[in-house]
């Protein structure tokens, strides 16, 4: 109980969570900006017969950014897509092991994506590669979010691995699939388990 509280109060882990939340918030603003840009393009094209040359490049690039920058937040909030048919009926010890294995796989894949992705970004910068579009943006602008997003995911998966023994594995139920708020209300708190 004390150990769990100290892990949850860890400044490093809270900082990792704040970075994930910040990157998710920035992604929301990017989505809003893309919506405004595409609305502007539609109005300019259909009402004023004056289409822009930059909206497609900007919106596609921002879509790449907000997709990758949100991965750490999705992991932090335990919202990753998973198949829970067997996990919902598995004993707690099996869920612990499978959760740890999945976090380790996410960590290893993220590490690979960061190292290989950085090679691609460095090559694009070195060779001056550009996108074959109207704006001809440098390729690294659309490649960098892959590296940053997977780096944040790598750090978040490490934080989740550290928390796992103290927080416990996720619980899965049919109720959670239908209404997550009902699922959370039905979950016993860790403090209840200690008292029992």
Strands of 59-161, DSSP E: none
Three-state SS across 53-72? CCHHHHHHHHHHHHHHHCHH
* Helix/strand/coil percent split, the chain, to 5: 80, 0, 20
pLDDT of residue 85: 72
Range of the domain at 156: 2-195
* pTM for this prediction: 0.79
Phi, psi of 168 (to 5 degrees): 90, 165
For the chain, list residues with pLDDT below 70: 1-9, 172-196
* pLDDT 10s digits, 126-182: 999 998 888 889 999 999 999 999 999 999 999 999 998 888 777 766 665 566 565
Count of the separate structural domains present in the chain: 1
Count of beta carbons in the 10 Å neighbourhood of residue 144 = 20
- C-alpha pair distances (Å), 177 with each of 8, 81, 172: 26, 11, 8
pLDDT of residue 194: 46
pLDDT of residue 168: 75
Q: Which of 118, 108, 110, 84 is nearest to 98 (CA)?
A: 84
| Whole-angstrom distance, CA of residue 83 vs CA of residue 172 | 10
């Amino acid at each position: 109980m004390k150990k769990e509280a100290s892990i949850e109060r860890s400044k490093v882990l809270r900082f990792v969570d704040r970075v994930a939340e910040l990157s998710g918030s920035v992604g929301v603003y990017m989505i809003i900006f893309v919506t405004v840009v595409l609305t502007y393009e539609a109005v300019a094209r259909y009402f004023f017969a004056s289409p822009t040359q930059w909206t497609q490049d900007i919106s596609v690039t921002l879509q790449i950014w907000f997709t990758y920058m949100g991965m750490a937040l999705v992991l932090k909030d335990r919202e990753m897509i998973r198949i829970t048919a067997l996990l919902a009926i598995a004993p707690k010890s099996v869920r612990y092991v499978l959760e740890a294995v999945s976090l380790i796989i996410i960590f290893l894949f993220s590490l690979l994506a960061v190292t290989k992705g950085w090679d691609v970004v460095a090559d694009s910068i070195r060779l001056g590669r550009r996108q074959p579009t109207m704006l001809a943006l440098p390729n690294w602008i659309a490649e960098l979010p892959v590296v940053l997003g997977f780096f944040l995911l790598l750090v978040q998966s490490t934080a989740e691995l550290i928390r796992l023994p103290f927080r416990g594995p996720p619980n899965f139920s049919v109720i959670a699939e239908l209404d997550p708020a009902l699922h959370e209300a039905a979950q016993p708190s860790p403090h209840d388990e200690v008292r029992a």
